[in-house]
Chains A and B, each alone.
Chain A
């Protein structure tokens, strides 16, 4: 059976909740975190998500720091990550970017591809 667990990391509560609901409505299990550090803890938790949707500008641990940490961890570095940001020009190269405001179809396409 395919892994249908998604991790959403975004400091804006409304955005995080709306995305979680949307993905749940489409039959995915959603883990949500308000910053990179909590996101990293969830990523290393019991259930490993198949896909991460990551905001960049966040308190505590921002998106760039989160990406650094994941890239250094051999167990996590293969997980597909899409960056959702209101500043797409600041997103690091060689990462998939979904500009905010998020186009739902574009997001669902990424999620489907990652979860199979």
Chain B
């Protein structure tokens, strides 16, 4: 039955009958003055509501007091927050927010003051499911006094609620005092809210620009996606004041989300939330519904399961966004905060979620392209090498055949040379595919102890056989032993020296030198002859450079040799550069650390 009739039948106005609490008029005036001063002096909204609750609780001699107030979000949803006095917040945290039941409605709707000598004796008490009275474990309230706090524009800002375990504590003059305090509080709260909004808007505006710039730069970096996501989370912790921020990625085709980044209070990626089934828990629900979920009151939000944790850590707000690209789910961004989200903060986060979603999508598309390219080049390599194999074997057979006419020899040699060259190009193409497919580290190397000068000597020996008319001079100094991938290093020397033999003046020797300097082995491959043009020098180690350069009579192959050579040196932690001029010829200069220092 309704209890808020105009008669005000349920407002007790009789003098306290139960407990008699002595009242010191002087003390009341002092307390009122203190309250007035405190309310007038405080501009910080959160501190103001706490001061209000503490002072008002003391003023009416309540054992415990609370101030419940509404916060509106831009979405139109409103959240109820509260401060509490005289009792530990944790003792209160497990209870749901008060609803507009017969007892509470007059206060929340700003209609009037409600006072009971003994609320448990009131006919409207205990009528509502599920508790039919106070929830089990609730503070024992008998004396009850509730005063709405109404702004000058008529808006109900919230309500002050007071309780005492004994009956009959609150009197009519308490009501009058608190109505006066509530009026003062309303003005102070309005000012504080205005002050907070202006301050928030100002600082958010500058932080928003900073954050947007930060996020954009982070997402456009070229390191691994997980590292970029992690830095985004860290930026949100720093600039958006989040307690912690996490990003989950939707596994393609699967029904789950994988935790990719976590910053703030928690930075681990394993544990209970590392993998979340779509549809389960708050994060999975956001993914399933593809709708953001925002609350400034995690303690009463049915989706937040671990309320004890939130109360303990002082977490009040949660915002979770599905990461969508053209309506398709790529992940979820979520954060907890110790302060409520304002409208502009939420707007900002929505934008950040969009940026992150796009970056994740770009990465996914890039991965798919890479997979296809690897597969394609792998198949191409295999399919090209097979017929080459048949040509090579057949040429070798002809070479060995006893009954071949003498004039066929030159043709057979041409077939062999061309098929060998083709095989090398296919090999380079496959190696290029492998280098490009590895996001970090480049070409894989297997470093084992060995002497780099031995490796170089062997290569020179082989090249002397295949280039019998050309001269190669060698010079080795000091101990060139270290950890090397012998096959790769041989390939590197072979490419550089063959290059020098090929492009250099055939009448002048190619000079190869290796020497030890501190923790490095340095080397040079030098040839005299036409220098490399300046345009060709620029980007000499780029793959397929020949595709952009004019073909000359001397250029053969795909232009991958120097790219692979450079990659081998890089994979050993070394450097390779080239000097070329008319007077001093062309020199490739190499330096490689003897041990893997990375």
Contact = CB atoms under 8 A, between A and B. Distances in A.
Interface string A55-72: 001000000000000000
Interface string B388-409: 1111111011001000000000
Contact of B389 (A21, A25, A57, A102): A102
A101 B392 contact: yes
Contacts of B393: 15, 18-19, 22, 101-102, 104
Contacts of B382: 57, 86-87
Contact of A86 (B385, B396, B397, B400): B385
A58 B388 CA distance: 17
Contacts of B394: 14, 18
B377 to A, nearest CB: 12
A101 B417 CA distance: 13
A81 B22 CA distance: 104
Contacts of A101: 385, 388-389, 391-393, 419-420, 423
Given A57-B382, A87-B382, A104 B387 contact: no
B381 interface: yes
Contacts of A17: 390
B396 A14 contact: no
A6 B397 CA distance: 18
Given A12-B390, A101-B392, A101-B423, A18 B397 contact: yes
Contacts of A15: 386, 389-390, 393
A12 B386 contact: yes
Nearest to A22: B397
A112 interface: no
Nearest to B419: A101
A21 B385 contact: no
Contacts of B392: 101-102
Chain A interface extent, by class: 10 to 19
Given A14-B390, A22-B397, A100-B389, 8 more contacts: A12-B387, A14-B394, A19-B393, A22-B393, A86-B385, A86-B389, A104-B393, A104-B400
Contacts of B387: 12, 14
Nearest to A90: B378
Given A57-B382, A86-B382, A12 B397 contact: no
Contacts of A12: 386-387, 389-390
Nearest to A18: B393
Contacts of B390: 12, 14-15, 17-18
Counting chain A CB atoms within 10 Å of each CB, the highest count among B378, B388, B396, B423 belongs to B396
Nearest to A86: B385
Interface string A74-99: 00000000000011000000000000
A104 B389 contact: no
Closest 8 CB pairs of A and B: A14-B390, A86-B385, A101-B392, A12-B386, A104-B396, A18-B393, A100-B389, A101-B389
Nearest to B387: A14
B386 A25 contact: no
Given A101-B392, A101-B423, A102-B392, A21 B386 contact: no
B412 to A, nearest CB: 13
Contacts of B420: 101
Nearest to B388: A101
Interface string A13-34: 0110111011001000000000
Contacts of B396: 22, 103-104
A79 B377 CA distance: 34
Contact of B397 (A21, A57, A87): A21
Contacts of B385: 86, 100-101
B419 A86 contact: no
27 contacts: A12-B386, A12-B387, A12-B389, A12-B390, A14-B386, A14-B387, A14-B390, A15-B389, A15-B393, A17-B390, A18-B393, A19-B393, A22-B393, A25-B397, A86-B382, A86-B386, A86-B389, A87-B381, A100-B386, A101-B388, A101-B391, A101-B392, A101-B393, A101-B420, A101-B423, A102-B393, A103-B396
Interface in A22-58: 22, 25, 57
A85 to B, nearest CB: 9
Contacts of A19: 393
Interface in B417-455: 419-420, 423
Contacts of A14: 386-387, 390, 394
A57 B382 CA distance: 8
A37 B393 CA distance: 25
Contacts of A102: 389, 392-393
Interface string B199-210: 000000000000
A14 B420 CA distance: 17
B444 to A, nearest CB: 9
A106 to B, nearest CB: 11
A80 B398 CA distance: 28
